[in-house]
Amino acid sequence: MTASLTNALLVMAILAIGVYLVAIINRAWANALGHSGAGNPFTAPFYSAASLWVAPANTTEAPDAMAWHLAPVLYLTLAAMGLALVPWSQNLVPVDLTTGIVLWGALEPLATVVIFLHGWSANAHLSMLGAYRYVSLGLSYLLVSMFVLIGVALPAESLQFSAVVESQAGLWNVIRQPLGLPLFLLVGLGISFWGPLNFADSNDLAGGTSSESSGRARLVWQAGRAVMLVAFSAIGATAFLGGWLGPVLPGFVWMILKTMVVLAMALLLGQLIPRFSPDRFLTIAWVLLLPLAFVDLVWAGLEALP
């Protein structure tokens, strides 16, 4: 009971720190790229969060109120569940499931359902269009993600994330399976609809699925997206960069550093790269990324042969 409570508190703490980190790094990149209005990276996130927290709520004409209010909370919950699977060190794993990779694989399609619910339930056309667009692309992300994660499970001979880390004691998967991390990073940008893969909440839809949200609902939705990106970065660091493994420093410090590197890279891509056309990305996903994920899997299988 005490252990469960400690783990829950740990996940909540990582969640809060993760949201803050995303805001800091994103603003730092914006400042570096010449955005004079990004503000102080360390204090501005608090001001923006407070502004959304005290902003009034709103409603639309005939929304599906329960679904509309639940969707941001559910998305944040799914992202938190993803964070719970991350092994921060050998002894610091909130939920060390033997089937962690399977659970992670289940979270991704559930996120698709929640994102659709968020856009659909507002009962507004731009919001609906964002949801529709996301669903039309969702499957192409999910398959890529599963193939690359199965790839890292093969050398570990386990679906447990901590075992995946231990299997990299000799050689990190980023070297062993070089296609894995870039593909996984793309999936992360897609599932959290960030930057070039922001099809759901884009400017050409006035904010898409969140175009009708305000106040706390919008704050929770944005926090959910940030936590999802942190969860992807942490799982990416676990699966491909050797997780807590590293010399001199304690394991959890290595894990935090590696997660931050992946996160910073994802956020920089989000700032720099403009949005693809959904149609073109769908073609790229099925014609290029999915075959590459197959290659990654075959490569991993051959490499794992005794």
Answer yes or no whether residue 16 interacts with another protein by CB under 8 A. no
Residue closer to another protein (CB basis): 55 or 113: 55
140, 177, 213, 238: which one binds another protein (CB under 8 A):
213
Answer yes or no whether residue 61 interacts with another protein by CB under 8 A. yes
Answer yes or no whether residue 120 interacts with another protein by CB under 8 A. no
Residue closer to another protein (CB basis): 55 or 73: 55
Answer yes or no whether residue 206 interacts with another protein by CB under 8 A. yes
Residue closer to another protein (CB basis): 99 or 136: 136
Which positions ≥6 away from 241 have C-beta within 8 Å? 172, 173, 174, 181, 258, 261, 262
Instruction: Look at the block and give the residue holding tokens 């070039």.
Output: 196
Answer yes or no whether residue 248 interacts with another protein by CB under 8 A. no
Taking CB under 8 A as the binding criterion, the range among 32-40, 74-82, 170-178, 242-250 that sits at the site for another protein is 32-40
Residue closer to another protein (CB basis): 4 or 277: 277
The radius of gyration of the chain's CA atoms, rounded to the nearest angstrom, is: 19
Answer yes or no whether residue 202 interacts with another protein by CB under 8 A. yes
Length of the chain: 306
Taking CB under 8 A as the binding criterion, the range among 54-62, 85-93, 165-173, 175-183 that sits at the site for another protein is 54-62
d(CA 225, CA 17): 14
- Here's the x/- map for another protein, 274-303, by CB under 8 A: it reads as xxxxxxx-----------------------
**Total residues binding another protein (CB under 8 A):** 56
Answer yes or no whether residue 98 interacts with another protein by CB under 8 A. no
The two structure tokens encoding residue 154: 């093969």
Taking CB under 8 A as the binding criterion, the range among 51-59, 149-157, 159-167, 250-258 that sits at the site for another protein is 51-59
8, 10, 30, 97: which one binds another protein (CB under 8 A):
30
Cβ 22 vs Cβ 30: under 8 Å: no
With vertex at residue 67, the alpha carbon angle to CA 62 and CA 70, rounded to the nearest 5 degrees, is 135
The two structure tokens encoding residue 49: 């969060």
Answer yes or no whether residue 216 interacts with another protein by CB under 8 A. no
Query: Smallest distance, Å, CB 111 to another protein?
Result: 20
Cβ burial, residue 32 (10 Å; 0-12/13-18/19+): exposed
Taking CB under 8 A as the binding criterion, the range among 15-23, 121-129, 223-231, 232-240 that sits at the site for another protein is 121-129
11, 21, 129, 235: which one binds another protein (CB under 8 A):
129
273, 287, 288, 298: which one binds another protein (CB under 8 A):
273
Residues that bind another protein (CB under 8 A): 29-30, 33-39, 43-44, 46-48, 50-51, 53-58, 61-62, 125, 128-129, 132-133, 136, 195-196, 198-199, 202-207, 211-215, 218, 271-280
